[in-house]
A and B are shown apart, each in its own frame.
Chain A
């Protein structure tokens, strides 16, 4: 360090100035980021409470009248129920299958298991996205599962399983084996060990994959869109596109309120889980 030819108080003043500029720059950045993410959501929080909602987010005449419109609409309620069935059904299937598979993969050394799992994980993000929409449609058609919620559940479960197994295996890898060995010495078999010992210990992991599956399925559009066309079976993600009047213009009061009712549950459970368990998603992908 060269000796500065500036008086100390001068340096201190510069330091304060630099700190001040730094803080200001920091808050400007934070405010910009916040605005960038918040502004597009304005419509979602304002339009449902506007008596005459348009596509522009504003609140001229606040009202709650849009919500009864949703709750009195049998199709809207049915679609929310369908979404719930799809989400919970897929979640149950995925949690069950992923627990068994992740436990086996975590505890038994099978040749190439990590590579296979990683490839499946990448693969699933490609296939479930869109690349396999045609063969999936044809397959489900051939299985006579078009227009059945079960068909959608099976397809979504197959698509979300690799990621769930991947996440859960990471949780299970961090459970010391002495718990299981202890249970084994006392006479417990594999299923009992999984049920009594491992599953309760990795409960945070189970919650994470359960919530992740619910959120994914709740928002999924393409799979139910191509596999279901019977109006009574449509989930909310697809149903929302049917709210057009005969003239072809959107029924915005219904859409706005429905969008909020449809969005709120996943946002709330997600934020709660995020707050409690932190970001353990894809924890195993450390590069």
Chain B
């Protein structure tokens, strides 16, 4: 029913802060689209411009094929759930849920019926005559959701709707949102700074930083193939290991260890062979061994942190700090001297200057015996 398209959107606030810098993206009809980024990255501004609460400085917004750039909110037929829910404190849940209908001058009986209907679907039936102040955080969140659904808008906008809930409720609400979206299939733009929310809920995620899109793609792609160093550093419950490395013809050299490439690097890199790069591996894909294996680097354990079912081990490697997540069965002690290896096929490669991803395939399977020891060439 409604796809969204944003073209060259720029927003400069009167105080000179550039919140959005030439942002273009499109959201398909029925898609759950997440805007993810650290605070101040412009994601909320983008959402508010979509809602019509802020005018853009330049650019075009199309909702459902209609150019709405200059329309106020009431001309856009969107519904929004705010971070603080913005449930009117002087109205009951039923009145809150029915408010969008009241604005459209629907008669009272119809309003009530529709409120009961939508609220019932969200388990609000016994709460319809309470005021927001008498509801728990989770109930308020559901009431805000019900109000947005009652509006029957073509586009849902969510501004960090789960951030005011405690951890357990947040998981429940997340599941509820996912289920609802599956049922109603309404185009949704969802702003969050919580990557696990974005990855769990969205069909596609846009990672934003400093008013620009850094990567747009399905969660798996964002997670496994971060498009640049910013995304690589931002996504993941523990930060990715970013190791200085050098690209050779058919190997990548990390701390003196050569890791063979699946395809000749020189070709796929278009002449990048011989230059310094950054190699990124998630701590979850690191392995620690007592003995040297091909493609592993020596390191000393500094800190061990208990994550519950796993442990996060921080090691001092030859050139940099390395972090690895290890199972609870094999926990090293601080001071242990180990060898840190990895499933290098999971690694990503980046240009250290531009931060952009380099498409390099690393050979999978057992490390071939051709692994070279070339000495500590990187220590400059």
Direct A–B touching in the complex (beta carbon < 8 Å)? Answer: yes
Q: Which residues of A are at the interface with B, using a C-beta cutoff of 8 A?
A: 176, 178-179, 181-189, 192, 196-197, 200-201, 203
- B168 beta carbon closer than 8 Å to chain A: no
Instruction: Give, as a whole number of angstroms, the nearest-CB distance from B72 to chain A.
Output: 7
Q: How far is the CA of A182 from the CA of B79 in the complex (A)?
A: 8
Given the complex, which residues of A lie within 8 Å of B99, measured CB to CB?
Answer: 183, 186, 196
Give 14 pairs: A residue, B residue, CB < 8 Å, sorted on A.
A176-B86, A179-B88, A182-B82, A182-B86, A182-B88, A184-B74, A185-B79, A186-B79, A186-B151, A187-B100, A197-B88, A200-B90, A201-B88, A201-B89
Q: How far is the CA of A136 from the CA of B151 in the complex (A)?
A: 53
Besides A176-B86, A185-B73, 7 more A-B contacts (Cβ < 8 Å) are A181-B51, A181-B86, A184-B74, A185-B51, A186-B73, A187-B103, A196-B99
Q: How far is the CA of A185 from the CA of B99 in the complex (A)?
A: 11
Q: How far is the CA of A181 from the CA of B103 in the complex (A)?
A: 14
Instruction: Give, as a whole number of angstroms, the nearest-CB distance from A180 to chain B.
Output: 9
Residue in chain B with minimal CB distance to A186: B100
Given the complex, which residues of B lie within 8 Å of A184, measured CB to CB?
Answer: 52-53, 72-74
Residue in chain B with minimal CB distance to A192: B103
Q: How far is the CA of A186 from the CA of B102 in the complex (A)?
A: 10
Partner of A181, one of B74, B79, B82, B90: B82
Residues facing A in B34-84 (CB within 8 A) are 48, 51-53, 72-74, 78-80, 82-84
- B330 beta carbon closer than 8 Å to chain A: no
Q: How far is the CA of A201 from the CA of B151 in the complex (A)?
A: 22
Q: Which residues of B are at the interface with A, using a C-beta cutoff of 8 A?
A: 48, 51-53, 72-74, 78-80, 82-84, 86, 88-91, 99-100, 102-104, 147, 151, 157
Instruction: Give, as a whole number of angstroms, the nearest-CB distance from A268 to chain B.
Output: 26
Residue in chain B with minimal CB distance to A181: B53
Instruction: Give, as a whole number of angstroms, the nearest-CB distance from A35 to chain B.
Output: 44
- A185 pairs with B53, CB closer than 8 A: yes
- A179 pairs with B86, CB closer than 8 A: yes
Given the complex, which residues of A lie within 8 Å of B100, measured CB to CB?
Answer: 186-187
Q: How far is the CA of A150 from the CA of B73 in the complex (A)?
A: 42
Q: How far is the CA of A185 from the CA of B67 in the complex (A)?
A: 17
Residue in chain B with minimal CB distance to A109: B14
Q: How far is the CA of A196 from the CA of B95 in the complex (A)?
A: 11
Given the complex, which residues of A lie within 8 Å of B91, measured CB to CB?
Answer: 200
Instruction: Give, as a whole number of angstroms, the nearest-CB distance from A61 to chain B.
Output: 53
Partner of A187, one of B89, B104, B147: B104
Q: How far is the CA of A178 from the CA of B83 in the complex (A)?
A: 9
Given the complex, which residues of B lie within 8 Å of A178, measured CB to CB?
Answer: 82-84, 86
Instruction: Give, as a whole number of angstroms, the nearest-CB distance from B309 to chain A.
Output: 39
**Closest 9 A/B residue pairs (Cβ):** A182-B86, A187-B74, A186-B100, A200-B90, A178-B86, A185-B80, A187-B103, A185-B73, A178-B82
Instruction: Give, as a whole number of angstroms, the nearest-CB distance from B66 to chain A.
Output: 16
Residue in chain A with minimal CB distance to B82: A178
Instruction: Give, as a whole number of angstroms, the nearest-CB distance from A37 to chain B.
Output: 38
Instruction: Give, as a whole number of angstroms, the nearest-CB distance from B145 to chain A.
Output: 13
Given the complex, which residues of A lie within 8 Å of B86, measured CB to CB?
Answer: 176, 178-179, 181-182
Q: How far is the CA of A200 from the CA of B89 in the complex (A)?
A: 9
Instruction: Give, as a whole number of angstroms, the nearest-CB distance from B349 to chain A.
Output: 44
- A182 pairs with B103, CB closer than 8 A: no
With contacts A178-B82, A189-B74 known, is A183 near B103, CB below 8 A?
Answer: yes
- A188 pairs with B103, CB closer than 8 A: yes
Given the complex, which residues of B lie within 8 Å of A188, measured CB to CB?
Answer: 74, 103
Given the complex, which residues of B lie within 8 Å of A200, measured CB to CB?
Answer: 88, 90-91
Q: How far is the CA of A181 from the CA of B53 in the complex (A)?
A: 7
Given the complex, which residues of A lie within 8 Å of B53, measured CB to CB?
Answer: 181, 184-185
Query: Which of A178, A181, A186, A200 has most chain B Cβ within 10 Å?
Result: A186
- B84 pairs with A176, CB closer than 8 A: yes
Q: How far is the CA of A200 from the CA of B83 in the complex (A)?
A: 22
Given the complex, which residues of B lie within 8 Å of A179, measured CB to CB?
Answer: 86, 88
Given the complex, which residues of A lie within 8 Å of B78, measured CB to CB?
Answer: 185
Q: How far is the CA of A176 from the CA of B164 in the complex (A)?
A: 16
Given the complex, which residues of A lie within 8 Å of B74, measured CB to CB?
Answer: 184, 186-189
Given the complex, which residues of A lie within 8 Å of B104, measured CB to CB?
Answer: 187
Instruction: Give, as a whole number of angstroms, the nearest-CB distance from A152 to chain B.
Output: 34
Given the complex, which residues of A lie within 8 Å of B51, measured CB to CB?
Answer: 181, 185
Q: How far is the CA of A178 from the CA of B72 in the complex (A)?
A: 16
Given the complex, which residues of B lie within 8 Å of A203, measured CB to CB?
Answer: 90
Instruction: Give, as a whole number of angstroms, the nearest-CB distance from B50 to chain A.
Output: 10
Q: How far is the CA of A192 from the CA of B104 in the complex (A)?
A: 11
Residue in chain A with minimal CB distance to B78: A185
Given the complex, which residues of B lie within 8 Å of A185, measured CB to CB?
Answer: 51-53, 73, 78-80, 157
Instruction: Give, as a whole number of angstroms, the nearest-CB distance from B234 to chain A.
Output: 27
Given the complex, which residues of A lie within 8 Å of B90, measured CB to CB?
Answer: 200-201, 203
Q: How far is the CA of A189 from the CA of B80 in the complex (A)?
A: 16
Instruction: Give, as a whole number of angstroms, the nearest-CB distance from A125 to chain B.
Output: 33
Q: How far is the CA of A183 from the CA of B72 in the complex (A)?
A: 12
Instruction: Give, as a whole number of angstroms, the nearest-CB distance from A269 to chain B.
Output: 22
Given the complex, which residues of A lie within 8 Å of B89, measured CB to CB?
Answer: 201
